Structure 1
């Protein structure tokens, strides 16, 4: 009962704990996603603010450069080499990271940049498309492995409205680590700028950048929300946002992406801390609740436990076990009722044993007196006939044979009763041949009057030797064969009995089949009970009972396999393991008996 009550308490406690942890985990994950969305908006807003300031600066610088007379004079030469040699001075004066001059047709004349020199063809293609936009409007341009914010301004000789168009000047600044740090600090997260699936600049280390490229997928190319990604030993929740429209709408992969990665570390630490508190409180509640429940149940379950022990003792046949009257009033009343039941059952059991003993003795006495009177009457009558003077020698021999048959019947009856009273005694196993034991039983049956004119067939005999009590087991085979012969004579055709010896790895079987009328339905269920035979519902039969008990003493049993008319089969099953155990017991007993005893000197 304690276990029954404690188990629901434990299940309820752990169930509530797991449910609480699941709810907390869900809330933390949802809050983390909400924070990431907010951080992404802050990141984009911060970048847009920085971009706005940068664009205003670029617009002013490009306008100032476009108004320089010296630059206009340089462009009027229309000589690319002259322009390339003189343009470097204007780049240095501007202080920009990127500077370029284009001719009247929008073709690149010369470009300068800080750091590794950019590919001229790539710069030319990008500036050609940038030159098609509104003059002075900065745009994002991916050049090489960098992203530049670039503004272009046309150059005119004379007034802009009716002057001569000389070409264009382009200036720009890269999105570098400074911009990335500014955005990262505003978002309280890691950020990265990517173009065409590659990371251009990021606050992540080189190793993590490589992992981001390898595992980022669509995150680095198209706007993505709430993507979980593992970088190093840390898990991130990532999102990306498109920064500007593409210069070439047919090539959307060139659109720069802002990627924000929010670490789960803080959320995980918070979640772990909350989990520990919840688990500690749940464990404390479980311990306190278990202690209180155990204290309450002790007074309830102890008397019930004693009652259970009394029930077990009663089931095992111990009718002297007494119960104490402790516990609640209901339990005490139950104990008193059980005590009254125990006393009544003990008295009834004694009366039942006495009556059963008397009934058994009466049935045995009735059986024995009836059969012995029959045999004695036959012997008396035959002896009286033999004493007559006018009887011939042939008649005298026939009468003598009937006397011998009566004596044999009385001997069989007394032997069966003797063996029946000896059931439960220890066996005397020896390493015997099963075939010899069967042949001895068959010879005895053939010499019995019931075995005459019955064809007994033996199949499967071999040189098998096992540990058995040959006398008892032979008696069991004899009884089954004798019953088979008696049943076969009541059949329709010629009486026949077949004995078959079967061997397997696990058991030995002795099957005895006859062609008699079969076992009546009313007798099948109690065929192995004492004084029940297969010829009538109640009789003097002890043969099957004795055979069953002998087989059980050998660790096996007897089965009635079939009761069809003309094919009744009884099978003695002898497990090899049980027979080997008999042999091991005999050898152990023999070895102990031969241990020498040394006398004290």
Structure 2
């Protein structure tokens, strides 16, 4: 298992906290802009109230002490009111600063203007003098103007930011904990259980007790558990089948060796029977010799298949046209003139391959086609990038659906009576050893077509990998 800090649970927790904090940052910007606007609006409302107190005094005059107290309550150097009926009037002022640094008209500021002004206040020096204009929230008609120092506003905004940060951290940690627990229960623990099961199954894949137990969930985790168990059951069955086949193979190898010797002796005796002058004996001898040859060939192919290991290639430049001509001249039916072997591969086409092994591939394909009943076999080739595609097409009766299902499996896929199914299995194994492949392109009543793909050179094969 990975260390706690590098585990999936820890990563989910950190990501959740980070994402929630990012969301809080996006919320913080408009929140602090709104706080600044509210602060200034409250100052305008306080200014309006101060002016109303002044207007209630006799002759609208107050003493210097009361005027200073009203301005202190507002937090401004100057308060002015513009009444739509009588025009602009300067009402309260004390100790005016020498200059105004910025004029803020709340009525004309858009959303992004408010965002920018808020960050200027937060990040600026904080000692600017602001002239604030806006409509009084008390009556919604009067225009109020105040002049104030930005420092108290900045302090309040910083305090507000700290409160938002603390709240964001609390929300992030609480949300992250809930999400972490949910993901841990719904995802991390099932994944950990599947990982432990795979590790245990890897140590003993033939033990059926180590199959993945199903939780009964109907979501993606339940589907993954079911697929894993299905894969384990298939692998377990395959291993048991291969173990049985290995035991059978050892026995078949011993039997085939002894049986081939016995059949060779019987074949010699059948040759003597063929020399008999008795017509009935001569007729029976031909059938007997054919049967014995087929049995001997079966034993020979079985022994060769069980003894051979992975193909060891002796690479050289092979003239494909010449090789196919050689194969066609040595096929039994072709030699006897019973079938046509037509080589349409262009002269000079070559590949880097093991000539002897490539000969076996074409010989097996041709022999299979002839033994299946084909009377014409056509071979042609085409270059595709750094690969060569060779197609072998015959006019035989085609393969049965049952033969096509397990076409390249040894001992199971022969399309004719008495066949071993080894020819195509060996041909594909040799093709893949060269970095290519052998596949069935089509098989119907008009005939069968196999496609052999080979790299032009082993260097291009390695570059592609």
TM-score (norm 2): 0.58
Distance in 1 (CA, whole Å) between partners of 2:26 and 2:149 is 21
| Structure 1 residue 512, shift from structure 2 partner | 1.1
Distance 2:148 2:328 in 1: 96
> What is the 5 A alignment of 1:139-538?
139-140=87-88, 204-205=100-101, 208=102, 219=108, 228=114, 230=116, 234=120, 240-241=134-135, 258=145, 265-266=154-155, 268-274=157-163, 277=166, 309-315=199-205, 355-361=244-250, 380-386=269-275, 414=300, 417-418=303-304, 421-445=307-331, 447-448=332-333, 452-489=337-374, 495-536=375-416
Q: Could you tell me how far 1:355 is from its partner in structure 2? A: 3.9
- Structure with the bigger RCO (C-alpha within 8 Å, sep 6+) is 2
Query: Structure 1 stretch 434-443 or stretch 570-579: which is displaced more?
Result: 570-579
Q: Tell whether the 8 Å contact from 2:343 to 2:379 is kept in structure 1 after alignment.
A: yes
Q: Secondary structure at the match of 1:230?
A: helix
CA RMSD across the alignment? 5.9
| Whole-angstrom distance in 2 between the partners of 1:242 and 1:278 | 32
**Is contact 2:387–2:454 with CA below 8 Å preserved after alignment?**
yes
- Give the CA deviation at 1:408: 11
User: Mind listing any 5+ residue stretches in structure 2 that lack a counterpart?
Assistant: 62-83, 123-129, 181-190, 208-236
CA deviation after TM superposition for structure 1 residue 480, in Å: 0.7
Query: In the aligned structure 2, how far is the partner of 1:304 from the partner of 1:413?
Result: 47
Q: Is the 8 A contact 2:135 2:144 kept in 1?
A: yes
Query: Out of 440, 450, 454, which is 1:574 matched to?
Result: 454
Distance (Å, rounded) in 1 between the aligned partners of 2:345 and 2:250: 42
Contact 2:35 2:157 in 1 (8 A): no
Does 1:35 pair with 2:39?
yes
| Contact kept? 2:317, 2:352, Cα under 8 Å | yes
- Counterpart in the other structure of 1:252: none
Cα–Cα, structure 1 residues 577 and 242, in superposed 2: closer, same or farther, change >3 Å?
farther
Query: Superposed, which structure 2 residues align to 1:71-110 within 5 Å?
Result: none
Alpha-carbon distance between aligned partners in 1 of 2:382 and 2:425, rounded to the nearest angstrom: 23
Deviations 1:451-472 (A, max 9, x none): 7422222234342333211111
Unmatched 5+ stretches in structure 1: 58-132, 141-148, 150-174, 185-201, 244-254, 291-300, 320-347, 490-494, 585-601
- Measure the CA separation in 2 of the matches of 1:567 and 1:389: 42
- The alpha-carbon distance between structure 1 residues 389 and 227, as it changes in their structure 2 partners (threshold 3 A), is closer
| Deviation by residue 1:33-85 (Cα, 9 ceiling, x = unmatched) | 432321222344557788999x979xxxxxxxxxxxxxxxxxxxxxxxxxxxx
Distance 1:562 1:382 in 2: 42
Take 2:413 and 2:167, find their aligned partners in 1: how far apart are those partners? 75
Question: What is the alpha-carbon distance in structure 1 between the residues aligned to residue 410 and residue 163 of structure 2?
Answer: 76
The whole-number CA distance in structure 1 between the counterparts of 2:95 and 2:345 is 97
Is the 2:350–2:456 Cα contact (8 Å) retained in structure 1? no
Change (3 A) 1:308 1:361: closer
Distance 1:303 1:417 in 2: 46
Change beyond 3 A, Cα 1:546–1:417: farther
1-structure distance, mates of 2:404, 2:238:
28
C-alpha deviation, 1:353, in angstroms: 6.0
Does structure 2 conserve the Cα–Cα contact (< 8 Å) formed by 1:513 and 1:569?
yes
Contact 2:406 2:412 in 1 (8 A): yes
Larger radius of gyration: 1
Change (3 A) 1:477 1:284: same
TM-score (norm 1): 0.47
* 1:15-30 aligned within 5 A: none
Deviation at 1:497, TM superposition (A): 1.4
| Contact 2:364 2:423 (C-alpha < 8 Å) held by counterparts | yes
Q: Cα offset for 1:430?
A: 2.0
- What CA deviation, in whole Å up to 9, does each residue of 1:146-191 have, x standing for no partner? xxx6xxxxxxxxxxxxxxxxxxxxxxxxx79x96986x9xxxxxxx
Q: CA deviation at 1:537?
A: 7.8
Aligned positions, number: 379
**Which structure has greater helix proportion?**
2
Separation in 2, partners of 1:225, 1:412: 89
Take 2:336 and 2:114, find their aligned partners in 1: how far apart are those partners?
92
Q: Write out aligned runs for 1:105-144 (5 A).
A: 139-140=87-88
